[in-house]
Structure 1
Amino acid sequence: MTHLRIPALRVLLGSILGLLLMLGGAAPALAHAQLESSSPADGTVLEHAPASATLTFDEHVRPIDGETRLTRPDGTSTTLEAHSRDDDVLAALPSDLPDGSYVLTYRVVSADGHPVTGTLDFSVGAPSTIPAAPSAGSDTGADAGAGTDTAAHEEPGAGAATLVPVLTVAEYLSLLVMAGMLLCSVLVARGAAARAVMASGRATRALRGLALVAAAAAVLLVPVTAAEAAGWTRMGAGLSAPPVVGAGAVVLGAALVIGAGGARRPALSVPGALLAMVAPVLVGHSASIAPRPLMLVADVAHLLAGAVWSGGLLAAIAMLTVLHRHSAAAEGVAVVRRFSLVALVSVLVLAASGTTMAVLILDTPSALVTSAWGRTLLVKLVVVAVAVGLAAWNRTRLLPAIASADAPWERLLRIMRREAALLLGVLAVTGLLVNLSPHVHSMESMSGTESAQVDAPVAPATSGAA
């Protein structure tokens, strides 16, 4: 970045582009629920055919109608009726199972609205060649006899798996920047000139635009998440309460911000922004990580601190740019000093809440490098560390120079814009973390499974988070 004047829109688009490039090389979105055990167990050989199958997860899940299927040794497939009981999914098996090997395929929705798909195999009597699990869209019931599924199955979530992380990132970026700018207008903009910047027509339009983007993304996530779970033509089967409740809270909060005119009426807009910002917690990791009260507090504190630092920094840049243009150096110094103090508190809260969340979420310390969630978290921490370094430089070196009338305004604004770009990238990575699992999954760990369509790889009989 060699120029001084870099529009905030370019910074925002650059951060989104960087995240999309990261998504292009990332693994598929991983779900948060994990299969802990099954009966029959994966890979087991039974003397007699079982009457039913039981899948035990580490949290409550809901089976999707028509998506629990049993493939027989001859390759034909039967759709099973499955229902949930606490953390178990139970499915009655046909009574006429001949000897041979079978594959059970399941697709369920976890407590946070994410789909979980997996397979397990078992044998009755003498094992045979393990049949291939039916692929979506295939007609598996031809000449299969009574009770088999003769309808072609829609590819669940075709295209939705790509839209979910994009919409989630858009929602998080908009919500946190919007909330941070409004909080900065209350905590930092104390002088008349600074308040006028935050109440200007340009700032009001920006805040209303962010509110509209957040609301649109939240609303679109409801059908898209359902389609990811059950398919576009069967979205009703994939709907769950958390995304609907979360979207409603975001829309209500965004409406309050728009109706209040942004920072012109902070007493109404700030509560609206905070309501909309904490809504994603309902569908994130906090929905399934115990102890839930502690996780909720840590998650909300983390979001609040991140919003104050990142969105507040953009607001501070806007105020300093106008104050510099009008040679209001004294008020500019006051803005930087107040924001530096607010940012320092935010960093401390980020560190404490982030550490608490990592301890609660990660199964083991090694998951920090062996899981996609842990590696993404490390990327986020590195970017935050660089941003902290830039902020420290601003406060310890440039701010004293401005106060003594040396006035290196252009250098201060340039570094603050770089810091803002880094923090917007952090917010984008935060949106990505919501769609990744903290559990360690790999295709290699799935014993006995030769063919599987897995949106969220699940390792049967592997213990999940306590």
Structure 2
Amino acid sequence: MIISPMLPRRVLATVVAVGALTVVATPVALAHDSVIGGNPADGEVVEEFPRRIELEFSGLPQEGFSTVAITDQDSGDLLFSGEPTIDGRLVTLDLPADVSGGPGDYTVGFQILSSDGHATRSATTFTVAGDAQTTATPTGADAKPVEETTAVENTAEGDTSIVSNPIVLTLAGLALFGVIAGAIVLAVRNRDRR
């Protein structure tokens, strides 16, 4: 049987290309859900403190294990924290009438169960431009003490690293194995020809 000298190179090139595509494409496919829109939108300046927080995600968050919290960035006060309503990709938290805030910067920290089954924690921000005479006040039965603000902020900085995903690591390892196996096959064939 005669084997073309170009065949091993083509096989190796194909193995390398498939391995590289697997490594590059896998993190995108397995990334946790992220916020792609909302009301107020991330970084938006609004005239009045919102009565409802809406977050639109890239995937379909799962029910349970979800929390949304609003914090005044200037004072560090946690204004409200509660379990949101999930409808498709939209996560909504209605704020009680006695929870309000004046001009300033606010953080919307959230924790959801992503469509990939992993907990996702992050945050968005918005600014109230409004009238300078109103001030943020944590009130209502669900208002939490200031000490819990740190926990909410830590939650917002949670681990959403793709590298910690065992499926990604397994696929990357398989791709690397394929590249190494292809190189070994090529080396053995070249050695046998000599």
Contact preservation (8 Å) 1:102, 1:123: yes
Distance 1:121 1:63 in 2: 24
- Report deviation, 1:49: 2.6
| Residue 39 (structure 2) aligns with | 39
- Report deviation, 1:396: 4.9
| Residue 106 (structure 2) aligns with | 102
| Residue 389 (structure 1) aligns with | 183
Contact preservation (8 Å) 1:33, 1:111: yes
Distance 1:58 1:66 in 2: 16
Paired residues, number: 147
SS at match of 1:68: strand
Distance 2:70 2:117 in 1: 24
| Residue 76 (structure 2) aligns with | 75
Q: CA 1:47/1:116 → structure 2, altered by over 3 Å: closer, same or farther? A: same
| Residue 49 (structure 1) aligns with | 49
Equivalent position amino acid for 1:38 in 2:
G
TM-score with structure 1 setting the length = 0.27
Structure with higher RCO (Cα < 8 A, 6+ apart): 2
- Report deviation, 1:36: 1.0
Distance 2:177 2:131 in 1: 52
Aligned 1:58-457 pairs, distance under 5 A: 58-62=58-62, 65=65, 67-72=67-72, 73-77=74-78, 78-95=80-97, 96-100=99-103, 101-126=105-130, 144-146=138-140, 147-150=142-145, 152=148, 153=151, 165=164, 168=166, 384-398=178-192
Distance 2:37 2:139 in 1: 31
Distance 1:31 1:81 in 2: 24
SS at match of 2:67: coil
TM-score with structure 2 setting the length = 0.58
Distance 1:391 1:50 in 2: 63
SS at match of 1:392: helix
Distance 2:181 2:67 in 1: 46
Distance 1:105 1:55 in 2: 11
Distance 1:381 1:123 in 2: 45
Equivalent position amino acid for 2:102 in 1:
D
Q: CA 1:165/1:50 → structure 2, altered by over 3 Å: closer, same or farther? A: closer
Q: CA 1:106/1:37 → structure 2, altered by over 3 Å: closer, same or farther? A: same
Distance 2:85 2:191 in 1: 63
Contact preservation (8 Å) 1:47, 1:125: yes
- Report deviation, 1:54: 1.0
| Residue 235 (structure 1) aligns with | none
Distance 1:75 1:114 in 2: 28
Equivalent position amino acid for 2:87 in 1:
R
- Can you list the C-alpha shifts for 1:30-82, whole angstroms capped at 9, x where unaligned? 94212111111122222223221111112101365463100135321121230
Distance 2:32 2:44 in 1: 26
Q: CA 1:64/1:397 → structure 2, altered by over 3 Å: closer, same or farther? A: same
Distance 2:127 2:114 in 1: 28
Distance 2:180 2:116 in 1: 32
Task: State the identity as a percent.
Answer: 20
Equivalent position amino acid for 1:45 in 2:
V
Distance 2:119 2:81 in 1: 18
Equivalent position amino acid for 2:82 in 1:
L
- Can you list the C-alpha shifts for 1:279-335, whole angstroms capped at 9, x where unaligned? xxxxxxxxxxxxxxxxxxxxxxxx8xxxxxxxxxxxxxxxxxxxxxxxxxxxxxxxx
Q: CA 1:113/1:127 → structure 2, altered by over 3 Å: closer, same or farther? A: farther
Structure 1's unaligned 5+ residue stretches are 1-29, 129-142, 173-302, 304-376, 402-466
SS at match of 1:67: strand
- Can you list the C-alpha shifts for 1:358-409, whole angstroms capped at 9, x where unaligned? xxxxxxxxxxxxxxxxxxx6x97666434312112224534x79xxxxxxxx
Contact preservation (8 Å) 2:66, 2:110: no
SS at match of 1:387: helix
Q: CA 1:113/1:57 → structure 2, altered by over 3 Å: closer, same or farther? A: same
Distance 1:165 1:107 in 2: 18
SS at match of 1:390: helix
Q: CA 1:32/1:391 → structure 2, altered by over 3 Å: closer, same or farther? A: same
Equivalent position amino acid for 1:37 in 2:
G
Distance 1:64 1:161 in 2: 18
Contact preservation (8 Å) 1:31, 1:114: no
